[in-house]
A and B are shown apart, each in its own frame.
Chain A
Amino acid sequence: MRMWIYIVRRLILIIPIVIGVMTITFALVSALPIQDRLISSFGPPPKNSPGGYAATVPCSVLHINKTGDCPNPLYVRDTHKLGLDQPIFVQWGVYIGNSLTFNWGYVDNNSGAARSFPGNIQGLSVATTLGEFLPYTLELAIFSLVIILVVSIPLGNLGAVYRNRPIDQASRVISFSGYALPGFLLGSLLLFSFVLALGPTFNWTDPTCNKESWYLFWYGSWPQQTCYPGGQWPSWLTAGQISSPTGFPTVDALYHGQGWLALDSIIRMTLPALVIAYGTIAGLLRFVRNSMLEVMNLDFVRTARAKGVPENVVISRHAGRNSLNVTITVLGLTFAFFIGGFPVVEYIFNLWGVGRMFVYALLSPYDFGLIFGSTLLFTYLVVFANIIVDVLYAYLDPRVRLG
């Protein structure tokens, strides 16, 4: 089978998964009280309406029923607008259709998440908003993935080669402590120690600001406004947080010819990327080691040794490459956990990515559009990462796509 046929087949296979995920979120949304959904979509009820969004309001028209309640016109109108008076299957179909076409609703005018963001995102569609925050998250993800691979593959191979020696035990303890340290604790402690303790001690200067500005690391994804010439954000930095044209901070800074700013954004990403990576390395390292152990007992490795191939070549070429399959598979499996670390880390380090948007939406009472939108977006990331993993796997191991 050709490679592109395999890829197309994989892409078709994800459709039921995406629809299933949407069905789950639909079930969750449907479980919400209707009044909350109305507030989430149309804002708080107007002052002049007596019952708010209650389904019935007391009224004096006694012939409607005996208790003197009649349907609330506001409720009837707005549930009709949202389509909540339709049968549940129709609602489900509409929801799936909207989700697939990225019609995820709009950021409300009194959304808490929108108010936390320094710029103006009120009234934008949820998909557009999240799309603006996505590149930062992606760059952070790529950065931490690089750290993960660079650390875990050599360390896992070393652990397999020097099995049960001190280096194996040390890598084991290091990786397990990554697993056992919650991201919020590690991130906060790193931030405390770097900003509070180490900052004044070493008298760091931010490369973009020529003054003593070590504590600006606390400030977030970009330097403070005062650090720019003239004390103004450059025009390509919306609200000082979202960069244009691509949204990837390093790429944009380089595009505008500001190398120091690119370096600065990488420095700002280092701690968060380390925190995310540290939690994921634990899941990967043991599998790399174990698969390496298995491969090193196979016949072709013995043959290679027997015919006099140098040991380091045996380990790097013969065994190392063949153990990569497992590494990639496990990376795909742990990707959901990996992505789940982003809200916390972006929240701690004040980075304006999708995860931070998710946290702010969670903290404000009625931002269901942003909450479910960012969950869907993260799920898409996981699904597409898994496709990439599958394709890589098929590339590395022809048996998969031929079989």
Chain B
Amino acid sequence: MAESGTVPSPPLPAKTKTKRVKKAHRPNPRIAQMKRTFYFLRRNTLAMVGIGILLIFIGIAIYALFQPIPWTQLTQQCASNNGPYPPTGGCLCTYTPGSQDPGPNCYQTPLGSPSIIAPTFNFAHGTLGPLPLGSLTVAPTTPIFFDTYTGLLRGSDWSLGISVAIVGTGALIGLLVGAISGFFGGWVDETLMRIVDIFLSIPQILFVIIVIAVLVQIPFFQPFTLRITLLIIGFVIVWWPFYARIVRSQVLVVREQKYVEAARASGAGGGRLVIRHIIPNSVYPIFVQMSLDVGTIPLLLGTLVYLGFPLFATIYFPEWGSMAALSVFGQTLSNSFLTCQFGTCVIPWWQFLFPGLALFLYAISVNFLADGLRDALDPRLRR
């Protein structure tokens, strides 16, 4: 092909009368496997339900990307209080109790605590549906609000985006490490797998927390976008070993296959074997783990925030896990918990119900998908 420009191609053989038998169409075996997997997946009702919910969430996330945030009446307060981050719309509403209601997303509170406000349908806002469902407070002492509906909407971007970024990067690193480890074997394998063992023996959530707690002290990571990067880095450092281990176990099987032998016999080098033959054929099992982790990471983000980790508490960061965590956190620690015990006040169920529901549906949908994938990919479990 390369020399066809310079060297004249040899003349085609004269057409003979005998009709060439048309080759039967043989699809690419990988595509065939994908089709087969999807066939088994389609017969799994729960997996289909999971895919449906996931598609709805992706649709919401895409929709939310193009939605402006209704912060019209609060711009001044945003400018004065929000520090360097009014990113694409975010606000602090501070007001002294007793003064006039500053805007549609801020409410006066009966007990001096902004967390205890009954959900209302704001007709004055001119919007149908549950907008705004009361305000979400960070903690009763800190006057940071955002609207639950808006937060959920924007949070779909953050939650899905961050989890996909973490899982994608982690899986990529794990894929490379696992493929190298499994393919080359010997001392390379031993060393890499001991490192994986070390990483896996530290409890993951604690590991993430201490990594982030240390890195956040470094002044370089102060800006908002870099803090998100820091979050992703912290999770990736902890998460790649899972994928490395899974990929390695699969590579150990794949490298003994006939087609790898054939490729080696026809002169393929180590790098080509790994990239063209080993990795594409051992990539399927990590899809299960990936889909599980995509659901887990928003929950862990929430756990991070719940443990009082001061990463995003002072800026507008509507991520589902953080929203749920902060709402519950405020309830647990505030005196409202003790004053509520005699039924004098409203438990602000909407604050943790909606973010919690979003988290739950998202995580359970990817779990259904992962389970279906596991069944579809494992021939022993199919039947």
Contact of A182 among B197, B329, B347, B359 (CB under 8 A): B359
- Range of interface residues on B (Cβ < 8 Å): 35 or more
* Assembled-state Cα–Cα distance A169/B380 (Å): 19
Are B307 and A20 interface neighbours, CB within 8 A?
A: no
Given contacts A286-B371, A359-B308, contact A169 B46 (CB under 8 A): yes
Given the complex, which residues of A lie within 8 Å of B202, measured CB to CB? 21, 24, 336, 375, 378-379, 382
Which residues from chain B contact A28 at a C-beta distance below 8 Å?
210-211, 214
Asked whether any CB of chain B lies closer than 8 Å to the CB of A6, the reply is: no
Minimum distance in angstroms from B244 CB to a CB of chain A: 14
Q: How far is the CB of A36 from chain B (nearest CB, A)?
A: 6
The reply on B275 being an interface residue by CB < 8 A is no
Which of chain B's residues 340-383 have a Cβ closer than 8 Å to chain A? 340-343, 347, 352, 356, 359-364, 367-368, 371, 374, 378, 380-381
Stretch at the interface among A188-196, A236-244, A392-400: A188-196
A96 to chain B, nearest CB (A): 13
Determine the residue in chain B with the shortest Cβ distance to A293. B381
Range, interface on chain A: 35 or more
Given A31, A176, A371, which contacts B215 in the complex, CB threshold below 8 Å? Answer: A31
B381: chain A residues within 8 A (beta carbon): 290, 293-294
Chain B 194-221 against A: per-residue CB contact (8 Å), 1 yes, 0 no?
A: 1101111111111101110111011000
Beta-carbon contact of B307 and A344 below 8 Å: yes
Instruction: Give the A-B pair count, Cβ closer than 8 A.
Output: 168
- Determine if B364 and A20 form an interchain contact, defined as CB atoms under 8 angstroms apart: no
B145 within 8 A of partner (CB): no
How distant is the Cα of A176 from the Cα of B47 in the complex, in angstroms? 12
Judge whether A358 is part of the interface by a CB distance below 8 angstroms: yes
Tell me which residues from 209 to 259 in chain A have a Cβ below 8 Å from any Cβ of chain B.
Answer: 215, 218
Q: Contact between A344 and B303 (Cβ–Cβ < 8 Å)? A: yes
Chain B residues with CB under 8 Å of chain A are 46, 194-195, 197-207, 209-211, 213-215, 217-218, 292, 295-296, 299-300, 302-303, 306-309, 321, 324-325, 328-329, 331-332, 337, 340-343, 347, 352, 356, 359-364, 367-368, 371, 374, 378, 380-381
For this complex, 26 residue pairs linking A to B, each with C-beta atoms less than 8 Å apart, are A17-B197, A20-B197, A21-B198, A21-B201, A24-B202, A25-B210, A31-B215, A31-B217, A31-B218, A33-B217, A172-B46, A176-B368, A177-B364, A180-B299, A180-B361, A182-B306, A185-B325, A185-B352, A189-B352, A196-B337, A199-B341, A290-B378, A358-B206, A371-B213, A375-B203, A386-B201
